[in-house]
Amino acid sequence: MLKKGIILFLSILSFHVKADDGYKLWLKYDLLKNNTKVAEYKRFSDFIDVQFPISPIIQTAEKELKKGLSGLVGATITKTVKTSGGIVFQKDNALPKEGFKIVAKNGNIVISAQTDKGILYGSFELLRQIQTENSIASINLSSSPKIQLRMLNHWDNVLGTIERGYAGSSLWKWYELPENIDPRYVEYARANASIGINAVVLNNVNASARFLTKEYLEKVKALADVFRPYGIQVFLSINFASPKILGKLKNSDPLEPEVKKWWNDKAKEVYSFIPDFGGFLVKANSEGEPGPQEFGRTHADGANMLAEAVKPFNGLVIWRAFVYGPNPKGDRYKEAFNEFKPLDGQFAKNVIVQVKNGPIDFMPREPFHPLFGAMPKTPLAMEFQITQEYLGFSTNLVFLPSLFKEVLESDTYVNGKGSTVAKVVDGSVHDYPLTAIAGVANTGSDRNWTGHFMSQANWYGYGRLAWNHEISPEQIAEEWTKMTLTKEANSQKIIRNMLLTSRETYVNFTNPLGLHHIMGQNIHFGMEPWLEKSARPDWTAIYYHRADSVGIGFDRTANGSNALGLYSKDVQNQWNNPQTCDLKYLLWFHHVSWNQKLSTGKTLWDELCTRYYTGVTEVEKLQNDWLKVKGNVDEEIFEDVKGRLAAQHREALNWRDACVLYFQTHSKQPIPTPFVKPTRTLEEMKKIVEIYQLK
Ligand code: BDP
């Protein structure tokens, strides 16, 4: 009796603990509570009539709709097709390749598309409409992706670790593959397909040559086989020195015939395993990675040699522009531009150059990379970082669609007003035949996939924007909250607002007014504005903030490094004048004196302190707002997010105290009222950071 009681108690307990661990992401499919809506959706849930050539992708779409409708509205989809009351898949060759149309017609919901992928995306869209409780009775909606390749880049290593990963270890269990297929691979593919992601790079750009061995290609094939029915193509990052490392050639010079042959043969081998393999992603001559420059060749020489090898199989080469020579006199801001701009027009037709969103490195805020708009003859892909390397790992709530959108909407002015970065990337500014966008993934083996539960919204939001860069962060926040967290209207509003303000909050307590690269070295966590020495000058903090007795900021006007000169005239005009430059970017481009009056009416010093202090207050607001949703979100998720917000608050205080105390050694001015001087000393703050760096 007692034993039974204990078992019952334990199972209740474990039921409670496992209530919602975040594993199902935004694809929860829990029964909706709104009965009127449920009745409406049920009217279209009797059958699925597939008037479309059957394929594994079509079967995926069918399976997903069945799963979704049975969960959300309790429907049982039967095999009997009737004239009305169901969902119909139809072919429509007039629609764009991966696009779809959803129309309520003759008592059915008709999803039409040119390709099976379009049907799959349409099915997920229909489910999203239902999950967010929109009416579908007279639905008439069409959508198609603006960018062809919508990729996730995983920085996963052979041994299962993830570079800059903060959600556990790699999802790919290399040692168990190819024999054992973790069911999680399917869940991963579903999640991606639901937001339109159609390509993944499985491994780190700092690539081990091992991925190209037969042993690993068999494993990669196993994953590609799982992802294919979800419309996802697999790519690999390659090590440029593979001919030497694996092939034992004397070098990996891209112009050597035997090196070319090695790559041609390797490409053939890769495609023999994975016939629809996407191609290679390459980080070369960057941060110690091998590349063509070792042999006096250019990035174009290297890329074109690989492009030749994958061309017979319709493969692509995605060559990264994240290169910056160690130039102590230069400005890292300009390095990639100077390296790549002269190569415009020299790349083979199946090469895409992948450019990070900003010129330095995924900072909390950066001006857009000057290469966007500067390479009309070379398709440029956007590279965003979803994992929060410089944004507080998985202890900080930072809603990244705000950042992505800010970059995408920046105007390059290359073909006049409205030549936004988004329109460069989607090909409309320069008529690129190939278009691509990549996000460095934030997924890992943590049960909730992303470490911080709220960071799921960044994966989701990245995919939604990759599909359609015109949708707003507001819409994304709303959709995600409804699908993932709560159906209660007031809590939805609170959470949506938390998400939308979170990025600015993070900027305020870390890098206000255009400060950048003042984070802790190596692990890139916390702050280290006093960092003077590193392996390279452009890895220190003082290189970027340039604080002295006069003021702070990096003069990138014509009087300084003239990085601003890399942009079109209209962009220069926007940022050239410290009096009118948007305060968001001020210290990116100007060395401003401490006593300079800003548009806010405060001096630079006072404004800087104000931002650091309000940043902390804003984190407190996030904490308080979260308390208000208790009871309306899952208890386990509630507690986890609450704990992480408390950790974020501790971090925010550290950033604030360290930064104001350190910059004060230059400004020599008091902390302005009404703010209270930190109780800790600069020396104490330095100790905290020292500990972060200990191995
Ligand atoms: C930096 C990361 C480093 C990456 C590099 C890259 O710190 O780990 O390898 O970017 O993008 O942000 O190649």
Looking from the CA of residue 163, the nearest atom of ligand 1 is 8
Confidence tier at 74 by pLDDT (50, 70, 90): very high
Ligand 1 pocket member 571 (CB < 6 A): no
Q: 8 pLDDT exceeds 60?
A: no
Question: What is the 237 CA–ligand 1 centroid distance (Å)?
Answer: 14
Look up 639 and say whether it is catalytic: no
Question: pLDDT tens across 101-157, in order?
Answer: 999 999 999 999 999 999 999 999 999 999 999 999 999 999 999 999 999 999 999
Tell how far the Cα of 206 is from the centroid of ligand 1, in angstroms. Answer: 8
**Domain interval for residue 179:** 149-484
Last residue within a domain, chosen from 143, 172, 202? 143
Same-domain check for residues 64 and 200:
no
The CATH number covering residue 220 comes to 3.20.20.80
What is the rounded distance in angstroms from the CA atom of residue 437 to the CA atom of residue 465?
10
Q: Which residues fall within 8 angstroms of residue 18, CB to CB, at 6 or more apart?
A: 636
Residue 666 is predicted with a pLDDT of: 98
In a domain, 582, yes or no: no
Distance of CA 36 to the CA centre of its chain: 37
Q: Spell 5-42 as b/e; 16+ CB within 10 A means b.
A: eeeeeeeeeeeeeeebebebbbbbbeebeeeebbebbe
Q: Which residues pair with 149 in a beta bridge?
A: 436
645/681 same-domain check: yes
Say which residue, 19 or 521, is predicted with more confidence: 521
CB of 517 closer than 6 angstroms to any ligand 1 atom:
no
In a domain, 499, yes or no: no
Calculate how far, in angstroms, residue 322's C-alpha sits from the geometric centre of ligand 1: 9
576 within domain boundaries: no
CATH label of the domain that carries residue 120: 3.30.379.10
Compute and round to an integer the Cα radius of gyration of the chain.
Answer: 26
Element spanning 592, H or E: strand 592-593
Kind and range of the H or E run holding 437 = strand 436-440
Confirm whether 361 is a catalytic residue. yes
The span from the CA of 53 to the CA of 113, in Å, is 11
160 with 243, same domain: the answer is: yes
Task: Verify that 254 and 105 share a domain, yes or no.
Answer: no
Residue 206 Cβ < 6 Å to ligand 1: yes
Identify which of 154, 162, 164 to mutate to test ligand 1's pocket (most ligand atoms within 8 A of the CB): 164
Q: For 437, list phi and psi in degrees, rounded to 5.
A: -140, 140
What is the dihedral sign for C-alpha 87, 91, 92, 96? positive
- Residue 329's pLDDT band (cuts 50, 70, 90): confident
Active-site pick, 116, 331, 361, 479 = 361
Are 161 and 136 members of one domain?
no
Are residues 464 and 403 part of one domain? Answer: yes
pTM value surpassing 0.85: yes
Residue nearest to atom 1 of ligand 1 (CA): 361
- Could you give the angle at the alpha carbon of 230 between the alpha carbons of 444 and 446, nearest 5°? 15
Ligand 1 centroid to Cα of residue 281, in Å, is 14
Same-domain check for residues 35 and 165: no
Instruction: Confirm or reject: Cβ of 190 under 6 Å from ligand 1.
Output: no
**Ligand 1 atom nearest residue 524's Cα:** 7
Same domain, 371 and 458: yes
**10: pLDDT strictly greater than 70:** no
Helix axes 473-484, 401-409, angle to 10 degrees: 160
Catalytic residue among 30, 276, 287, 470: 287
Rounded to 10 degrees, what is the CA torsion of 480, 486, 489, 493? -50
What 3 state SS string does 339-388 have?
A: HHHHHCCCCCCCEEEEEECCCCCCCCCCCCCCCCCCCCCCCEEEEEECCC
Q: Are residues 237 and 153 in the same domain?
A: yes
- Assess whether the C-beta atom of 163 lies below 6 angstroms from ligand 1: yes
The residue whose two tokens read 């220069």 is: 572
For residue 365, is it within any domain? yes
Same domain, 153 and 139: no
**398 neighbors 645 (Cβ within 8 angstroms):** no
What atom of ligand 1 comes closest to residue 283's alpha carbon? Answer: 13
User: Based on the domain organization, do 442 and 521 belong to the same domain?
Assistant: no
On whether residue 569 sits in a domain, the answer given is no
Residue nearest to atom 10 of ligand 1 (CA): 361
From 143, 166, 185, give the residue that closes a domain: 143
Whether the CB-CB separation of 639 and 617 falls below 8 Å is answered with no
Amino acid type, 248: K
Q: Output the CA torsion sign for 70, 76, 81, 83.
A: negative
Give me ligand 1 centre to Cα 332, in Å: 14
CATH code, domain carrying 601: 3.90.1330.10
Catalytic-residue membership of 49: no
Coil, strand or helix at 667: helix
Residue that is last in its domain, among 143, 168, 195? 143
* H-only helix segments in 374-529: 401-409, 421-425, 456-467, 473-484, 489-510
In angstroms, the CA 365 to CA 370 distance is 15
> Is the confidence at residue 535, as pLDDT, over 80?
yes
- Confirm whether 10 is domain-assigned: no
Check if 101 has its Cβ closer than 6 Å to any atom of ligand 1: no
> What are the pLDDT digits (tens) for 665-690?
999 999 999 999 999 999 999 999 88
Residue 60 scores a pLDDT above 70: yes
Please report whether residue 579 resides in a domain: no
Each residue's pLDDT tens digit, 454-483: 999 999 999 999 999 999 999 999 999 999
Q: Please count the helices (runs of H) and the strands (runs of E) in the chain.
A: 21, 15
- Residue 50 sits in the same domain as residue 191: no
Given 389, 538, 607, 640, the catalytic residue: 389
Would you say residue 259 lies in a domain?
A: yes
Total structural domains in the chain? 3
- Distance (Å) from CA 470 to ligand 1 centroid: 28
Q: What's the first-to-final CA gap in the chain, in angstroms?
A: 52
Residue (of 318, 323, 363, 315) closest to 341 by Cα position: 323
Average pLDDT across the chain, whole number = 96
What six digits make up the tokens of 296? 């006096």
CA neighbor of 523 nearest in space, from 392, 383, 627: 392
Q: Is the backbone of residue 605 left (phi > 0), alpha (psi -120 to 50) or beta?
A: alpha
**pLDDT tens per residue, range 223-253:** 999 999 999 999 999 999 999 999 999 999 9
Question: Smallest Cα–Cα separation from 44: which of 105, 85, 101?
Answer: 85
Q: Give the Å distance between the CA of 269 and the centre of ligand 1.
A: 29
Question: Token pair of 265, please?
Answer: 């043969």
